[in-house]
Structure 1
């Protein structure tokens, strides 16, 4: 695994992204909070990794404003949080898959998460556990279908075939959550800095 991580770090950097690795969630959390500092507007895209880390709480406690639609209740508050997250100083989210070639692969329901990753915020930080590392884009797409989408659909109580079969069937359900798939091959030109942070633990979907 160490060789894979070194290969991944090098390819991410070749693709114009800053790359950081930490053995533990605690180390990564401290680094992220220190890097962001205080007095920032911080947007967050839907991420069980960030929720499980309670990263948003530490960032808020450091004196930053958090915009995350998971933390509000009304549709109006949700829309406001998404809009402000998309133009924040820093945008935090996770990845569904990261290939050894240094590509970041995601599937989204509404598109707000993936759109903010490629356009708007001044700095984007993408967090992923070692379970997200895939050999190539083919394996990454397979991971999206088997490991990412079904548990997310279950979490959201969606009535989709994958909830029953534990595997994406490319359904036509009105409650489908796999509507937008993106691959970041290189750092988008409009993003000031994009950093991928790998943690040596299994995290999220």
Structure 2
């Protein structure tokens, strides 16, 4: 693990290693300061550590929460846009390669865009199951693991709500990126020694 941390730091990431979800949650909170604007990328990992609920209930920040129940599609899109100029963007990743590349697919594109440019900082929660050898393995993981599980999750949720399931690879995984850190320490990685997300 130390070799990976050294590589990631040499790539320009700010890297933190924690043992479990609870430690990841406590550390994540230290990056969220009063008065900040906070953007969100789709992430099961962020929810699993408790950070999404924390952000939703934190009253002294401006959360661009596109997942809020009852908002219009226009408001949803505007919150995604505003998240791209936030002080910090909170998300997970589909894969992290041993040489320091973040590999992701997206439906709307706001998450892959945030990795590339926009938010002042990006906080990424990375379970140990996301670490892969290289970009090829990363995209393989995207298509064979992350996308499939997300499609199942979102279609199941639609059925529960009495809606027609409409999610597939064409609208869940149609925008792709792999990025390395650009500006030093702009992207913060919290590596969690547990499996998280898809």
TM normalised by structure 1 equals: 0.83
Contact kept in structure 2, 1:37 and 1:62, CA below 8 Å: no
Does structure 1 residue 199 correspond to structure 2 residue 192? yes
RMSD value, Cα: 1.9
Q: What do the CA deviations read for 1:163-192 (whole angstroms, capped 9, x no partner)? A: 7xxxxxxx6xxx5322111111x3234x87
Displacement of 1:149 in angstroms is 0.6
Note if 1:92 corresponds to 2:90. yes
Name the CA distance, whole Å, in 2 between partners of 1:151 and 1:134: 18
Change (3 A) 1:21 1:77: same
TM-superposition CA deviations, 1:47-106 (whole Å, max 9, x none): 111122230232342722211212243212201211111111010110000011111100
| Greater mean alpha carbon deviation, residues 10-19 or residues 62-71 | 62-71
The CA distance in 2 between the partners of 1:201 and 1:43, in whole Å, is 25
SS in 2 for 1:35: coil
Check conservation: 2:13, 2:185, Cα contact below 8 A.
Answer: no
What residue is the counterpart of 1:64 in the other structure?
Answer: 61
- 1:52 and 2:48 are equivalent in the alignment: yes
Structure 1 residues without counterparts, runs of 5 or longer = 164-170
The 1-side partners of 2:106 and 2:197 are apart by 15
User: What's the counterpart of residue 42 of structure 1?
Assistant: 38
TM-score when scaled to structure 2?
0.86
User: Partner residue of 1:110?
Assistant: 108
Q: Which residue of 2 aligns with 1:188?
A: 182
Gaps of 5+ in 2: 156-164
Matched, 1:23 2:23: no
Among 152, 155, 173, the alignment partner of 1:154 is 152
2:125, 2:189 within 8 Å by CA — same for their partners in 1? yes
For residues 202 and 95 of structure 1, the distance between their equivalents in structure 2, rounded to whole angstroms, comes to: 13
SS in 2 for 1:20: strand
1:33 to 18, 29, 32: 29
1:177 and 2:175 equivalent?
A: no
- Paired residues, what number? 187
Cα distance in structure 2, aligned partners of 1:56 and 1:78 = 17
Distance 1:23 1:91, change over 3 A: same
